Amino acid sequence: MSARTEEEQFVTDAAVAARSTETTASAPVADEGVRGVQTLSMAKAITAGLRAAMRADDKVLLMGEDIGPLGGVFRVTEGLQAEFGDRRVLDTPLAESGIVGAAIGLAMRGYRPVAEIQFDGFIFPAFDQITTQLARQTVRHDGTVSMPVVIRVPYGGHIGSIEHHQESPEAYFAHTPGLRVVSPSSPHDAYWMIQEAIASDDPVLFLEPKSRYWPKGPVDHDHSGMPLHASRVIRQGTDVTVVGHGAMISTLLQAADIAAAEGRSLEVVDLRSLSPIDYGPLLDSVHRTGRLVVAQEAYGFVSIGSEIAATVAERAFYSLEAPVLRVSSFDTPFPPAALEAEYLPSPDRVLEAVDRALAY
């Protein structure tokens, strides 16, 4: 079964996949203006999700660099300022720390701000605000102050750009108590997950795999299928479990197709959430296959992949027929665009790890 066919099956059979692991301030509802299944790119699915959230709650507002008339670098907020006005879709100065700081203040006044960081590498000027202020306010106030702030971050490679435009900084933030960190891999997930993130009373770092902005897929406007922090098996297999998030899911599905043609069966698990991680489907899969390969675009050292490998080794030790193996980018800064293909994990690198796992 192809990746596209499996995705279509998922969104049309959402009730079967639904799992209950997330509590939010208010559950997202279907956009009153759209019904049924629609084919959208991920970028436009996020636009539609933002529009639905803004129509449902006038306390939701957007803020970021060039997100107004321009619609953002990737046009994700295109048309929203014209629809909701410049008091709800705010163009900000080029000051990421100021953007997040203002969002914290707005949240304390009862708003639900959605702040856009223009590129992944630009988030570091806001690192202090995010990790020492935003993530800690609720605990500092003994639970009496909520922080319903979403920070949207286009991240990852595969777009042929330069260093600070293709980074994967998710481990920094998943390591921070008080932050929720999620990343969709499909237009359907992006549409619903952005609404669920906005509905959360906790701060959410919403990582958008920019290389997946343009491919289109089905979006079911009536059924989300599963809550924000649930992982899921998106392709069943018997020999090796492979797990990843964001754009890496496309790479894993390509690897699974190649493996199938060679007589090997890979089970693909999409994490969707990096903090917290829903280990249930992943552990169930490892119990069935006995082998696990973890793949990510980020550096391998002290990473999401490291955490998953350690946890699975602890919790599924007696099911493992081989060591948990990791595939990642190299532990160097992102290289010039001409070297991107050598730097980022490819289906071939995933399959090389699969071969090693099966050799045990």
What percentage of the chain carries pLDDT values higher than 90?
A: 82
Interacting residues of 264 by C-beta distance below 8 A, sequence separation 6+: 239, 240, 354, 358
What's the pLDDT score for residue 32? 55
Catalytic-residue membership of 287: no
* For the chain, domain boundaries: 17-220, 232-359
The reply to whether domains 17-220 and 232-359 share a CATH topology is: yes
Q: Identify the H or E element spanning 157.
A: none
pLDDT tens by residue, 11-55: 333 333 333 333 334 455 555 567 789 999 999 999 999 999 999
Out of 141, 158, 165, 221, pick the active-site residue.
165
Burial class (CB in 10 A: 0-12, 13-18, 19+), 36: exposed
What's the pLDDT score for residue 18? 33
* pTM (2 d.p.): 0.89
* pLDDT above 70: residue 143: yes
CATH of domain 232-359: 3.40.50.920
pLDDT tens by residue, 164-212: 888 899 999 999 999 999 999 999 999 999 999 999 999 999 999 999 9
What's the pLDDT score for residue 16? 31
**What's the whole-number mean pLDDT along residues 237-251?**
97
Q: For tokens 């903090």, name the residue.
A: 275
Average model confidence (pLDDT) across the chain: 90
pLDDT tens by residue, 276-285: 999 999 999 9
The fold for domain 17-220 equals Rossmann fold (3.40.50)
